[in-house]
Chains A and B, each alone.
Chain A
Amino acid sequence: MYDFDVIVIGGGILGCFTARNLAKYRLKTAVLEEREDLCTGISRANTAIVYSGCDTKPGTLKSQMCVHAAQSFESLCTELAVRYKQCGSIMVCCGPKGEEILRKKLSQGLANGVRGLRLLDRDEILALEPKLCANVRRGLYAPESGTVIPWELGLAAAENAVRNGVKIMLNTKVTKIKKKKDGYVVYSANTAFSARGVINCAGMYADEILEKVEKPSVRIFPDSGDYIVLDTKAGHYIQHVVFYEPEEREERLTLVPTVEGNILIGSTKNQSDEKDIFKTAGASIEKLKSIISEIVPDLPMKHVIRSFGAIRPNPYYVSFDSESGLYVPMEKAIHSFSIIESKENPAFLSLIGIKTPGLTCANELGCYAADRMASMLGTEVNTEFRPKETAPLRLNDLSLSERANLIQDNSAYGKIVCRCRNISAGEIINSIHRHPGAVTVDGVKRRTGASSGRCQGSFCTQRIMELLAREQNVSVDSVNKDGPGSDIIQNEKF
């Protein structure tokens, strides 16, 4: 049996930041993650936006967290050496319905203390975003919004947690939780972990994890949203995060000029009853394209390189229908962050159904949960906590002479593996040896960007597999795309 002070269940971005903030106390902490890598659930597919705080009701915890998070996001990213693009956002509309929404967001934002908010007229909008359609009417500019790569942020937090003593247990699915005197025993298929406190960050499954100790009052009902990604060739079409509030239809549109220079466009809202399947819905991409043609008519859709589906955890209070044996959601979804402190089970905290702006608030939520846990367990501050991380080496960020010197020291940096993104073998090898390191082709993609370019891995997948096999000393056929079952080749040779 492993012995810890706190067990964090779930290694998504919330789990990663909770663990990092727990490391600021003298608490022996472990993160249990079901999958082979971190940030593979909700954290891997979302809008990648850091919201300034105009969308949340004044006076709520969510608003406070969001505004504070946005204002301190740059320093958080500097500390963790994560790339952050504070490009600002413009919410635009073409008619009175949208304008009403904009004005409401403006007054909400002002009440929440969002800085630099400004209403724009048509000419001001077009000066900032010349590719938007000419009949835009009104815009709300928020300079403190931005975009970040969600898994890059989560992984950096996890690496920093590891540096400060947190243990990350991958491939560890929680099967059972037993209450004991002064704490809990958390079981996986072949291991038991004892802990004084548990923080449940299990994302889509947070309700099911809580159910292992008590009946949860809140349950998660997933829905999904679809996104498309444009090649970096179209990257210059948009400079800010653009939210489009249409007049005639329900669906909004978001365009994000990503850190890596792509444009991410989302998202539709689709029904889904599966918690772990990422898929796009029928006709949903066509719907996105039709909204795009309204607001950015010239956006070159020939540069689409990928479409994907994301899942969102929607929390609802439920009643139990004994006839069907199912939980039925109450009419209205819960809009606040639901952080449940169990009364019957002390030191058991659950973050259930954290969605937008969950990415923005990941550190705030992690900090909140860690502080609560620390005060419940009574502990001291860890004075040796080292907050700083160094960024993984990225050749594209270096000058030619720096790059030349690097290759002289290690020739693997000279070998280009991903030619769309210009990623070298050296960078891929590094990503495999980080803690936690990449073990799948998608793990390498999340850490380096390799295979995420315009050819979508048709050139480099085999090379990445061969590097993963060589560096981990396993056979190439055991390397998979995205976890167990996603094998790429079936056995090594014909």
Chain B
Amino acid sequence: MKYDLVVVGGGPAGMAAALRAQKESVSNILLVEREEELGGVLRQCVHFGFGLIYFGEELTGPQYAERFAIKIRQSNIDVFVATSVVQLKPDGVLVLSGEKCGLLEVKAQAVILASGCRERPLGTIPLTGTRPSGIFTAGMAQKMMNLGGYEIGKRFVILGSGDIGLIMARQLKLLNRDVLAVIEKEKQCGGLERNRVHCLEKYHIPLQLRCTVTEIHGKNRITGVTIKNLFNEQEEFLACDTLITSIGLIPERELAEEVYSDGRLPDWLFLCGNACYVHDAVDDVTLEAEETGRLAAQFVVSGKITKRAKHISSRTGNAANSDIICIGCPKACALIKTDNGFAGAVCGRKDPVPSCLCH
């Protein structure tokens, strides 16, 4: 099977990129989504706060996603849901796997990787104690509750003050669960200020800064955590039956690594959305993904990357923390080390915003 453009990931980035590419007169597009429905992480974000920049009104995650999903359904873009891309080959062939499509090889002239990000698991930090059940990443908890309809606990401690953690703190409080504390090792809240105010302060949920969880207790299900104040070294035990972690997000772009060689991505591969770097606002994701869609369309038409990208996001500074690729351009092009830092290999940017592909 052959397509001009294959977009991997049917979340906000993938949908926006596919729609824009189609508008730029690429007619033969496939959008692949591993879940049963389009929407990505937005499907589980049942709170308001999306769309103020892009639509000028405040929407929930599912509402925001649905606006794009409707357009996708009305378009002639082919959509495979419940389908995973299991391999990306150097010649632009994608291997898809799904219950309906079976194992299918698809040759693409261009590929946009919009596969989102994953949560950093608790195992990445050196924790003392047991490994019981009752420990969830914030997104996993959000999905289990909002999409699965499952109850996951009664007394919560939240480790890390990332945005999903803050939002889960509020949701749990609204559901009459005990949210004992949000524990953050840094001096300030990790999430957006507006989330800190609206999710914690308003509901009197304590945010313990310069503190961390040092020990997990409980043999089968978690029974509590030891919290250490990094400032005065004092430790305190908090009894809980659930620990939610919100300790960082990692772009999910292992597929790109399969074709990453000599410090660069192939010309036909484009990254956008959280697979490129983790964004604060979905509106930014949409705007950048549209630009990626436009560039990919240009590549399909001309076979060349014609123009360096304009960086749209207003808040990328805090997303960048490592090197290797430029996240300032939708090509996510490789960085070259220069005398004054880095320069983009493909986009030519003198001020690239770096991110590490191997992360």
Contact = CB atoms under 8 A, between A and B. Distances in A.
B100 interface: yes
Contacts of B123: 229, 304-307, 456
A304 B87 CA distance: 24
Nearest to B145: A494
Contacts of B118: 454-455, 458-459
A488 B133 contact: yes
Interface string B132-156: 1110110110011100111111100
Nearest to B128: A282
Interface stretch (A59-67, A140-148, A183-191, A400-408): A400-408
B152 A408 contact: no
Nearest to B144: A462
A407 B97 contact: yes
Interface residues of B, number: 53
Contacts of B97: 403, 407, 414-416, 424
Contacts of B175: 494
Interface stretch (B201-209, B214-222, B306-314, B327-335): B214-222
Main secondary structure of the interface of B (DSSP, over half): mixed
Given A416-B86, A422-B86, A493-B149, A487 B101 contact: no
A401 B218 CA distance: 47
Interface in A221-256: 228-229, 233
A424 B82 CA distance: 12
Contact of A305 (B99, B121, B140, B257): B121
Nearest to B356: A302
A155 to B, nearest CB: 21
A493 B119 CA distance: 25
A492 interface: yes
Given A279-B128, A456-B122, A488-B134, A403 B103 contact: yes
Given A422-B86, A456-B121, A458-B119, A281 B128 contact: yes
Contacts of A378: none
A486 B221 contact: yes
A50 to B, nearest CB: 26
A412 interface: yes
A286 B126 contact: yes
Contacts of B145: 494
Given A307-B127, A407-B97, A494 B149 contact: yes
B301 interface: no
Contacts of A486: 132-133, 220-221
Interface string A104-130: 000000000000000000000000000
B39 to A, nearest CB: 16
Contact of B95 (A300, A400, A424): A400
A13 B66 CA distance: 52
A52 interface: no
Interface stretch (A88-96, A328-336, A352-360, A476-484): A476-484
Contacts of A390: none
A409 to B, nearest CB: 10
Given A307-B127, A480-B133, A490-B153, A407 B102 contact: yes
Given A302-B359, A458-B121, A491 B102 contact: no
Interface string B70-104: 00000000000010101100000001011111110
A276 B219 CA distance: 9
B152 A489 contact: yes
Nearest to B119: A458
B164 to A, nearest CB: 11
Nearest to B241: A490
B131 interface: yes
B90 to A, nearest CB: 15
A466 B295 CA distance: 41
Contacts of B130: 277-279, 309
A285 interface: yes
Which of A415, A477, A484 lies at the interface centre, i.e. has the most chain B CB atoms within 10 A of its CB?
Answer: A415
A428 to B, nearest CB: 14
Contact of A412 (B99, B101, B131, B216): B99
A8 B99 CA distance: 43
B152 to A, nearest CB: 6
Nearest to B245: A458
B34 interface: yes
Nearest to A424: B97
19 contacts: A279-B130, A280-B129, A282-B215, A302-B124, A302-B359, A400-B103, A407-B99, A411-B102, A414-B102, A416-B34, A419-B34, A459-B140, A476-B150, A483-B220, A485-B220, A488-B134, A489-B148, A491-B151, A494-B145
Interface of B: 34, 82, 84, 86-87, 95, 97-103, 105, 118-119, 121-124, 126-134, 136-137, 139-140, 143-145, 148-154, 175, 214-216, 219-221, 257, 358-359
In the A-B complex, the 5 residue pairs with the smallest Cβ-Cβ separation, listed nearest first, are: A485-B220, A285-B126, A306-B123, A456-B121, A481-B133
